[in-house]
Chain A
Amino acid sequence: MKDVDVTGLAAERAEHWEREFGEDRDASARTIRNRSGIEVKPLYAPARPGPDYLESLGWPGQPPMTRGIYATMHRGRTWSQRQLIGLGTPEEHNVRLRKLLDAGANAVSLIPCNSVYRGLDVDEVEPELLGTCGVTVNTVEDMDTCLGGVDLSQVSTAMNDPSPFTLLALLLVVAERRGVPWERVSGTSNQSDYISHFVANHMFFRLALPGARRVLLDHVAFCRERLPRWNPVSVVGQHMQQAGATPAEAMGLTLSTAIQYAVDCRERGLPLDAVLPRFTFFFDVSVSFFEEVAKFRAGRRIWQRVVRERLGVEDPRAWRFKFHAQTSGVDLTRQQPLVNVARATVQAMAGIFGGLQSLHVDAYDEVLSVPTEKAARIAVATQNVLREEAHLTDVIDPLGGSYYVETLTDQMEAEIEKVMARIDAAGGMYRAAEAGIVQDMIGQSALAYQERIDSGAERIVGVNAWKADEDEEAMEGLARPDRTRILEQVDRLRRHKRERANGATAAALDSLARAANDPRANVFEAVVGAARAEATHGEICGLLRRELGAGQPLVVP
């Protein structure tokens, strides 16, 4: 930076930002004043930016992206209020989903039942486990019911569903039947990150590592050609942080995972400037407010550097670190559960100031079960309050420039890079996970944190500090799904398997088996074919477990 004209460069970049900001009429046409009548500008920056500012902060939408990935950020477009919904039968799910859309959610994220996560149909597991943590969706009809009344060309519909991505296949068949062109279908394959499942959340781990690796690439290739508005890759830091990784570790491991997927895509012949703009990230946001803000700002800076310098991608759209955040469930307490509303509010604020694009706020009773309707509405309302009453979206990166936040951002960046260097030394994230290195790191951090709570070094209201007696007050009224309706669905599935055109289903499953054994074939395309031929989720997953190997957790004591 020494040899360049800092003043000239800063003026040029500021002007560039102003032009980009001005082009977005929604953002620039409004003048905002606070209650005292003072005009609130969209961005605050130093009057005379020095070389450090240019190098470490810059302007929103420009490298190093510390201040945000778009010129307008939340002033132009606030985050998607993407509430997770997963409840009982498809009919019950649809009722809850419509209520949340009415309450202000503008994107949905479908959480399937644990049986679905494990790749099983409802007739393959103990009935008491069905529909308790998500919706029991096995067939095209089930998906159609779940999304009844939802315009698939308008509402973004994320599917929490790993390899082989059967729920997206079911969604695509529903779109076909409704006459919605696939090009208009938007959303994200959440939970596409099989490495995070292998190291931190075994429940989603359906196929053995090599099979999961291959099907993810097939999925990326398919989406690139057929689903221009679909994000096929969501790299998940959330599981690792929930499993015990520190915020810095979770960010480092996530970035290392993203690098692994990018390298895998390139080796597969997928051009990175085409696929990387469709990479998204999914993080946990804990109650450790400033640490989380710094985590996101540092992660954004590292990712643009990695993509530009290490992966050599020129397209600025690929440099953007787009992320969804979910407030941390681990921070919530069973004791004094209403206090969880306060925790979730602070967590959400950390994510917003960290520059997120999409947010899910946990309901205060999520520590005990799938949220009740009342608690879920408060979670949506929390976001409405932060946006509309607290005006947190008026200014871009409002904490930028704080001595503390900038120092902490630099320090977090250094910690994150240490983690990434460790993973690089192990041969990348795939190998590090295979060897149990990541699991060991996460386990040690989980234990260290628990020891801090046990010793009182970490104080948690209601748990080891400020205890009160009225613990149970808000926790009655938790509902498990209606057993009769669940059993009806099991019957319906059995009937479906009997009454469909079974010849066509068998032929499509046969094609799927052949695709699995043909390295040149696209497995995901065959999954869509099987879904169209009315094969069920469990049949598709079961077949691929046999052909590609079943995922088994690695036990790291």
Chain B
Amino acid sequence: MIQKGKRRTTRVLVTKIGLDGHDRGSRIVATYLRDAGMEVIYTAPWQTIAAVVKLALEEDVDVIGVSSLATDHLLLPRLVAALREAGLAHVRVVVGGIVPPGEERALLAAGVSRVFHPGSSRDEIVIGVAALADEARGDALAEERA
């Protein structure tokens, strides 16, 4: 495993959890991030929380990007909790898709770092994910030193 904090390339897991299978958004975002020089791990839809946590650990990712067209984002509090349990509290979770305002507030309160809505631009997504990855690496380094 690459030592945390010293790696320079941002690693992002782009995935879909739950039941839905619409992947237009996740495919485009994966391409955006890859084109921006990030290492993207991309999965098929329908991942379980456990599978996402395992992959995040194995692939040493900084950010998990979850695409949600239906209501699968309602599972994100479970994902955040499972990451903390697995010692991956530094990994940032972002969601892109159709998230109503009330649910966005609830997700942010539960520890999701950011919600990208339909209409978000390429720059907004790339810059936002890069900044969160920096934060994640900073936290990982601090954890290691502590």
Q: Is A103 an interface residue (CB 8 A)?
A: no
CB-based contact B121/A367 at 8 Å = no
Residue ID in chain B nearest A239 by CB atoms:
B22
Q: How many residues of A contact B (CB 8 A)?
A: 45
CB-based contact B46/A202 at 8 Å = yes
CB-based contact A201/B71 at 8 Å = no
Cβ of A395 to closest chain B Cβ, rounded Å? 37
Distance, CA A450 to CA B119, complexed state (A): 10
Q: Is A129 an interface residue (CB 8 A)?
A: yes
Write out the residue numbers on chain B whose beta carbons fall within 8 Å of the beta carbon of A244: 24
Write out the residue numbers on chain A whose beta carbons fall within 8 Å of the beta carbon of B31: 447
Q: Is A274 an interface residue (CB 8 A)?
A: no
Find A129's partner among B27, B45, B75, B119 (CB 8 Å cutoff): B75
Write out the residue numbers on chain B whose beta carbons fall within 8 Å of the beta carbon of A557: 27, 30, 42
CB-based contact B100/A553 at 8 Å = no
* Contacts A333-B118, A446-B28, A463-B119 given; does A129 touch B22 at CB 8 Å: no
Find A552's partner among B44, B74, B102 (CB 8 Å cutoff): B44
Write out the residue numbers on chain B whose beta carbons fall within 8 Å of the beta carbon of A132: 70-71, 74
Residue ID in chain A nearest B29 by CB atoms:
A450
* Contacts A334-B117, A557-B42 given; does A202 touch B21 at CB 8 Å: yes
CB-based contact B75/A475 at 8 Å = no
Q: Is B122 an interface residue (CB 8 A)?
A: yes
Top 4 nearest A-B pairs (CB, nearest first) are: A202-B21, A203-B21, A132-B71, A114-B19
Distance, CA A106 to CA B101, complexed state (A): 34
* Per-residue interface assignment for chain B, residues 80 to 122, with 1 indicating a CB less than 8 Å from any chain A CB and 0 otherwise: 0000000000000000001011100000000000000111011
CB-based contact A555/B44 at 8 Å = yes
CB-based contact A553/B75 at 8 Å = no
* Contacts A128-B75, A203-B19, A333-B119 given; does A555 touch B43 at CB 8 Å: yes
Chain A contact residues, CB within 8 Å of chain B: 114-115, 117-118, 120, 125-126, 128-129, 132-133, 197, 201-205, 242-244, 330, 333-335, 367-369, 443, 446-447, 450, 454, 460, 462-464, 472, 475-476, 478, 480, 552-553, 555, 557
Q: Is B138 an interface residue (CB 8 A)?
A: no
CB-based contact A454/B122 at 8 Å = yes
Q: Is B20 an interface residue (CB 8 A)?
A: yes
Write out the residue numbers on chain A whose beta carbons fall within 8 Å of the beta carbon of B42: 555, 557
Write out the residue numbers on chain A whose beta carbons fall within 8 Å of the beta carbon of B20: 114, 133, 203
* Contacts A201-B22, A333-B119 given; does A128 touch B46 at CB 8 Å: no
Q: Is B134 an interface residue (CB 8 A)?
A: no
Distance, CA A549 to CA B61, complexed state (A): 33
CB-based contact A125/B19 at 8 Å = yes
Cβ of A332 to closest chain B Cβ, rounded Å? 8
Q: Is B23 an interface residue (CB 8 A)?
A: yes
Cβ of B62 to closest chain A Cβ, rounded Å? 20
CB-based contact B44/A553 at 8 Å = yes
* Contacts A243-B22, A243-B24 given; does A334 touch B118 at CB 8 Å: yes
Write out the residue numbers on chain B whose beta carbons fall within 8 Å of the beta carbon of A133: 20, 70-71
Write out the residue numbers on chain A whose beta carbons fall within 8 Å of the beta carbon of B119: 333-335, 460, 462-464
CB-based contact B74/A129 at 8 Å = yes
CB-based contact A126/B100 at 8 Å = no
CB-based contact B71/A126 at 8 Å = no
Cβ of B59 to closest chain A Cβ, rounded Å? 15
Q: Is B72 an interface residue (CB 8 A)?
A: yes
Residue ID in chain B nearest A365 by CB atoms:
B100
CB-based contact A447/B100 at 8 Å = no
Q: Is B18 an interface residue (CB 8 A)?
A: yes
CB-based contact B70/A114 at 8 Å = yes
Write out the residue numbers on chain B whose beta carbons fall within 8 Å of the beta carbon of A243: 22-24
CB-based contact B21/A205 at 8 Å = yes
Find A475's partner among B28, B72, B101, B122 (CB 8 Å cutoff): B101
